[in-house]
A and B are shown apart, each in its own frame.
Chain A
C-alpha cells in the first residue's frame, strides 16, 4: 500500500496562473479530504468527498477554488488565477468511514 499519493510535490506558478493539484487516495477508502497548511493558519479544512460525492466545501474560497473527484482513484484541487496568499502546502487525506485520516506528503504551492 503506497499510501495517499499527491502530485506534484512542488509547484511554482506566477500570479494569475492556474494550478491543478492531484491526489490518489488509498484504495478502498471512501472519503477524501483536502486541507491547506500554512504557518499562520495551521491546518485549514477545504473540502471533502464521500464515495466521490461532494459533501462539504465550506472551507473553500468560493471564487477561485474548485475540487472534483471524477472517480474513486483520484481527486483534483484547482486554483484559478493564483495569488501570493494561496502559497501553502495543500494536503490530501483519505479515510475509511471518515475516521482516522491518512495524509499524503502534500503539494507545496508557491505563487510568485
Chain B
C-alpha cells in the first residue's frame, strides 16, 4: 500500500549547518506531498506542500523537491538555527483519502 518512510529518527546539528532529512514514498500514482513541523505542545503545522504541477516547495528557508524518479521528497535547509529545533514529518495525500505520515525526524540544533 501507499506509505512514507523517514529513516532518520533524530538529527543533531550545530547552528549554520546544512540540514537534509530523507523521505521516500511508495505509491503507484503521484500524490501531493507535504512537510509538517511540530513544536513541543503543539500539533503539526504545514511547512510546505508540493504537487506534481509545481515539483518544488520553498518556505521559511526550507526546500523540498518532488522526485518521481527516486520517489523521494527530501527536506533541505542551507543553514539551520536553534529555533528550527522541532519534529519534522513527511506526508502524502491523495484526494478523497486521509494523509499518511512518516514516523517523524526530531531535529535538535545546538548553538
Residues of A participating in the B interface, judged by any CB pair closer than 8 Å: 4, 33, 35, 42-43, 45, 48, 56, 59, 91, 93, 98-106
Residues of B participating in the A interface, judged by any CB pair closer than 8 Å: 32, 34, 36, 41-46, 49, 89, 93, 95-104
Q: Is the beta-carbon distance between B44 and A43 smaller than 8 angstroms?
A: yes
Q: Is the beta-carbon distance between B44 and A101 smaller than 8 angstroms?
A: yes
Q: Is the beta-carbon distance between A33 and B98 smaller than 8 angstroms?
A: yes
Mostly, the B contact residues are: loop
Q: Is the beta-carbon distance between B98 and A56 smaller than 8 angstroms?
A: yes
Q: Is the beta-carbon distance between A104 and B97 smaller than 8 angstroms?
A: no
Q: Is the beta-carbon distance between B96 and A100 smaller than 8 angstroms?
A: no
Chain B residues whose C-beta falls within 8 Å of the C-beta of A101 in the assembled complex? 36, 44, 46, 99
User: Within the complex, which residue of B43, B95, B101 is in contact with A42, where a contact is CB–CB below 8 Å?
Assistant: B101
Q: Is the beta-carbon distance between B44 and A45 smaller than 8 angstroms?
A: no
Chain A residues whose C-beta falls within 8 Å of the C-beta of B93 in the assembled complex? 98-99
The answer for the CA separation of A49 and B103 in the assembled complex, in Å, is 24
Chain A residues whose C-beta falls within 8 Å of the C-beta of B100 in the assembled complex? 45
**Can you list 14 pairs linking A and B with CB atoms under 8 Å apart?**
A4-B43, A33-B98, A48-B98, A56-B98, A59-B98, A91-B43, A98-B93, A98-B95, A99-B49, A100-B34, A100-B46, A101-B36, A101-B99, A105-B42
